[in-house]
Copies of this chain bind each other. A is one copy, B any other.
Amino acid sequence: MGPKELRELARSGKNFTTSGLAKGHVQTNVVIIPKSYAFEFTLFCIRNPKPCPIIEVMDPGEFVSSNAEGSDIRTDIPEYKIFKNGKFVEYVNDISSIWRSDFVVFLLGCSFTFENELVKNGIDLPYFENKKNVPMFITSLDTEAAGNFSGKLVVTQRWVRKDKVVKAVQATSRFPNQHGTPIKIGDSEEIGINDPYKPDFGDPWIPENQKDYIPLYWACGVTPQLVLESAKIDISITHSPGKMFVTDLNDEDMAVI
């Protein structure tokens, strides 16, 4: 199924995870907030491009992405999360009834693009085959604040065979808009990760031959979600984890080389 068909499937009310679907097309994290917070949140993204790489910011009230023909952001995501005053209140599969003309939509890069690239380069990602989630950790590193938006950097963890570390860096270098290069190679404790087998979110990943593997950490799109919660803005809407917005963009459109 292509990106347009997947958006139509979501629009019809189907609830599904988008991981692995419409291969080769860019999927994005989504944040929707009122215009009064939009400039500050944009500054936050600009200052923290690794966790919050901007793919598109729509005009206030606009719900058609210029990167997804005939799309409607109010219906084309399989599941949304609604937050009020920073607290999660409910999952819904359509936000048309609560849409406001002052809502601003942010499409932020997600890791699916570079994960495909890692796999192509011979780096195993067992959580894919095992239908598990990538391990995620809240680090001790501060993001660069913008107004009310601040918080710790969240990272994903992938164990890479030591002879594949160079390939992992090269492959992800091509995609600065999809979290880009790792922010840390090994030395988990230096970024506040005391037990690399106990993630804050997602599933633990324990490599079989530990001495041959090293954990690489990449900035994660959960970072802006936590930052949004702690900013306690009156209303914000995001996609539900793993249920992303599928654009018409090709992965290769995002590559810098």
Interface positions of A from 119 to 161, Cβ below 8 Å from B: 144, 146-147
**A86 CB-CB contact with B under 8 Å:** no
Interface positions of A from 53 to 67, Cβ below 8 Å from B: 54, 56-57, 59, 66
**A22 CB-CB contact with B under 8 Å:** no
Q: Mark A96-131, 1 if CB is under 8 A from B, else 0.
A: 000000000000000000000000000000000000
Shortest CB–CB separation between residue A255 and chain B, in angstroms? 10
| In-complex Cβ contact of A173 among B46, B144, B147, B257 (8 A) | B257
Contact A59 B147, beta carbon cutoff 8 Å: yes
Shortest CB–CB separation between residue A219 and chain B, in angstroms? 15
Interface positions of A from 34 to 49, Cβ below 8 Å from B: 35, 38-39, 42-43, 46
In this complex, how many residues of chain A approach chain B with their Cβ under 8 Å: the count is: 19
**A1 CB-CB contact with B under 8 Å:** no
User: CA of A173 to CA of B176 in the docked complex: distance in angstroms?
Assistant: 13
A176: B residues at CB distance < 8 A: 176, 256
A42: B residues at CB distance < 8 A: 39, 42-43, 46, 57
A144: B residues at CB distance < 8 A: 66
Interface hub of A35, A38, A257 (most chain B Cβ within 10 A): A257
A180: B residues at CB distance < 8 A: 256
Extra 20 A-B pairs, beta carbons < 8 Å, given A43-B59, A59-B147: A35-B39, A38-B39, A39-B39, A39-B42, A42-B42, A42-B43, A42-B57, A43-B57, A46-B54, A46-B56, A46-B57, A59-B146, A66-B144, A173-B256, A173-B257, A176-B176, A180-B256, A256-B256, A256-B257, A257-B257
A-B pairs with lowest CB-CB distance, top 4: A39-B39, A173-B257, A256-B256, A42-B42
Q: What are 24 A-B pairs with beta-carbon distances under 8 A?
A: A35-B39, A38-B39, A39-B39, A39-B42, A42-B42, A42-B43, A42-B46, A42-B57, A43-B57, A43-B59, A46-B54, A46-B56, A46-B57, A59-B146, A59-B147, A66-B144, A173-B256, A173-B257, A176-B176, A176-B256, A180-B256, A256-B256, A256-B257, A257-B257
